[in-house]
Amino acid sequence: MRISSRTPLIATRIFGMSAAARRVDLTTLTVNASVQVPTTVPCVASGKTTVPMLEEVRVDMADMRVESRPVTLVTCVGSCVAICLHDPIHRCGGLAHIMLPSGGKDGQVIPCKYAESAVPALIEGIREVTKQDSLLTAKIAGGADMFSKLKCAMLKIGERNVEAVKQALQARCIRLLGEDVGGTNGRRISFNVVNNEVVVRSLNGVEKKL
Amino acid sequence: MSEKMGHDSSSSAKETIGAYTWTANKCMNLGVLLELGSIGVGHAATALSQILQEPISIDVPKIHTLPSHLVSKFYARHDNPTTALYMQLIGDSECDILLLFDTDEAKRIAALMTMAPSPEELDPEMEASAIEELANILIGAFLSAMSDFVDVKLTMTPPQRVVDSFDAIIDNFLVKQSMVSEIAIIFDTNFKRAGGLADSLSSCILMMFPSKEIQNVLIEKAKDWLQTPPPKPDDNIVCAPNSNLNVAEAKPEEIRK
């Protein structure tokens, strides 16, 4: 698990201040971001609108990542579930890619593998970046059932994953703002940590914004 | 040093850990599996080459044992559109077998098989059917070579075809394996078509996720095979009189030498 709070070159160029200053002066950050990002970041044309291309950071299986930089967290899920937690005040967020609802022996080394331990780990990760408790919101996606013939000892692992994630979120009073779960297709999830926009894309071209 | 090693190997050979009664040396067990797989893969490549009427090259098969969450990083094909054919062994011993094609490559192969003028003109249903048939033949050859060798009956379900991104397909199987252990065991090999694109690493990947049961069965049977003394030449070779073969004329003592 990597938690990055360092300010990249790009952000320093945009805002012209250090990471500490940026975190304090939140209002300036938002104003500057909306005005200056498109001019400094290379732009790509996607469809009709021109959007600034943010750096994409890939999150691997059973991994999580908390970012305060303006980046997009990307992951691919089948029967796994991606949990996107967002802090609207500090404009940062984290993504965890969980594999199983629960399990692991005592002293297991990968908390982000399981739904029940990934949610607390993600909250802790965000708190380390923001240095304070704040109200978080969540969006989840995944839990597909792709191979109908795949016989598992525990049937419908996707459904169980989603159920476990929802329970873990509820236990910590985190509001679920959006979900795209179930079905038979895999999903590619891109989570913009600044504006909490989650785009779920499946290979057959269906794109959904949460 | 050599004495110590000799002592170690003899003591480990007597040990019994779980169902691995043959040897406690796990590397050895995986080596046996790898050898069996290699035999199967050779036959599968021959079958593929015969269907497509072109030379097929294969990579040396490998068994990867790595933590399940690192597998997608290892293959690094994250969002590649992939056509996967999933088959499972029928019987007491479960085992998942996957055949993975790049979606474009699957189209090209299906066009070759159905003699379609170009991959674009191919009917999607025809493509699906052709690729499923290819998987049947390929995995059939793979399994029958293995089952002939160790004398176990290996039969499989009809293939199920799924088109999705590489990571999404793989994660189903990794989840299944990670319910049992933290370490994923994957047998894989690459087939490469001579007429395929020069820059593509492989036309097709064969991937097998051997379960504990199938490992035990195969290893036990392979052990029997290894321990059986080689048949004496005069026991098995029966030649018709006046045959052109020289075997009957050679004396058993000479062959042994």
pLDDT in tens, B15-50: 333 333 344 456 777 888 888 899 999 999 999 999
Comparing alpha-carbon positions, the chain B residue that sits nearest to A187 is B168
* Interface residues of chain A, partner chain B, Cβ below 8 Å: 58, 60-63, 76-80, 99-100, 103, 110, 113, 144, 146-154, 157, 185-188, 202-203
Domain with residue B153: its CATH number is 3.40.1550.10
At B233, the pLDDT band (50, 70, 90 cuts) reads low
* Averaged pLDDT for residues A130-141: 90
Q: How many structural domains are present in chain B?
A: 1
Nearest to B84 by CA among B105, B103, B107, B100: B100
Q: What residues contact residue A92 under an 8 Å CB cut-off, 6+ apart? A: A66, A67, A68, A86, A126, A129, A130, A193, A194
Q: Which of A80, A84, A92, A112 is catalytic?
A: A80
Partners of residue A58 in chain B, C-beta under 8 Å:
78
Cβ-count burial A140-174 (b if 16+ within 10 Å, e if not): bbbbbbbbeebeeeeeebbbbbbbbbbebbeeeeb
- β A71-77/A55-58 pair status: parallel
Residue B257 counted as domain residue: no
Which element (helix H / strand E) includes A35? Answer: helix A26-40
Is B160 within 8 Å of A61 when comparing Cβ atoms?
no
Is B171 within 8 Å of A63 when comparing Cβ atoms?
no
Does residue A205 register a pLDDT over 90?
A: no
Nearest-angstrom CA–CA distance, A75 and A58: 6
Residue B134 counted as domain residue: yes
3-state secondary structure of A140: strand
pLDDT in tens, B203-220: 789 999 888 888 888 888
Comparing alpha-carbon positions, the chain A residue that sits nearest to B90 is A151
Average pLDDT along chain A: 76
- pLDDT at site A133: 85
Range of the domain at B25: 2-231
**What string of H, E and C letters represents the secondary structure of B75-103?**
HCCCCCEEEEEEEEEECCCCEEEEEEEEH
Sign for the CA dihedral angle at A112, A115, A121, A122 comes to: positive
Does residue A107 register a pLDDT over 70?
A: no
Residue B82 counted as domain residue: yes
Residue B122 counted as domain residue: yes
Q: Which token pair is B206? A: 């064969």
Residue B256 counted as domain residue: no
Q: Is A80 a catalytic residue?
A: yes
Residue B242 counted as domain residue: no
- The DSSP code for A148 is T
At B8, the pLDDT band (50, 70, 90 cuts) reads very low
Listed by start position, the domains of chain A span 54-209
- pLDDT at site A142: 92
Is A76 within 8 Å of B72 when comparing Cβ atoms?
yes
Is A61 within 8 Å of B72 when comparing Cβ atoms?
yes
CA-based nearest distance A78→chain B, Å? 4
Residue B7 counted as domain residue: yes
% of chain A at pLDDT higher than 90? 33
At A150, the pLDDT band (50, 70, 90 cuts) reads low
**Nearest 5°: phi and psi at B136?**
-55, -45
- Window B:91-130, CB contacts with A under 8 Å: 94, 96
CB pairs under 8 A between A and B: 100
Q: What residues contact residue A74 under an 8 Å CB cut-off, 6+ apart? A: A56, A57, A58, A59, A188, A189, A190, A191
- pLDDT at site A152: 59
Is A147 within 8 Å of B70 when comparing Cβ atoms?
no
Q: Which token pair is A89? A: 């005040």
ipTM: 0.70
Does residue A122 register a pLDDT over 70?
A: yes
Ranking A135-144, A188-197, B189-198, B247-256 by mean pLDDT, the lowest is B247-256
- The DSSP code for B203 is S
In this structure, whether the domain defined by A54-209 belongs to CATH 3.10.290.10 is answered with no
The residue ranking higher by pLDDT, A52 or A136, is A136
* Averaged pLDDT for residues A178-184: 89
H-assigned helices in chain B: 2-14, 26-52, 71-75, 103-114, 124-150, 166-178, 212-227, 233-236, 252-256
Establish how many alpha carbons lie within 13 A of residue A20's alpha carbon, considering only the half-sphere containing its beta carbon.
0
Is A146 within 8 Å of B163 when comparing Cβ atoms?
no
Residue B201 counted as domain residue: yes
At B137, the pLDDT band (50, 70, 90 cuts) reads very high
At A52, the pLDDT band (50, 70, 90 cuts) reads low
Ranking A122-126, B82-86, B209-213 by mean pLDDT, the lowest is B209-213
CA-based nearest distance B85→chain A, Å? 10
Is B165 within 8 Å of A188 when comparing Cβ atoms?
yes
CA-based nearest distance B160→chain A, Å? 7
- pLDDT at site B202: 73
Does residue B11 register a pLDDT over 60?
A: no
Out of B67, B163, B165, name the one closest to residue A76 (CB).
Answer: B165
The residue ranking higher by pLDDT, A36 or B25, is B25
Partners of residue B72 in chain A, C-beta under 8 Å:
60-61, 76
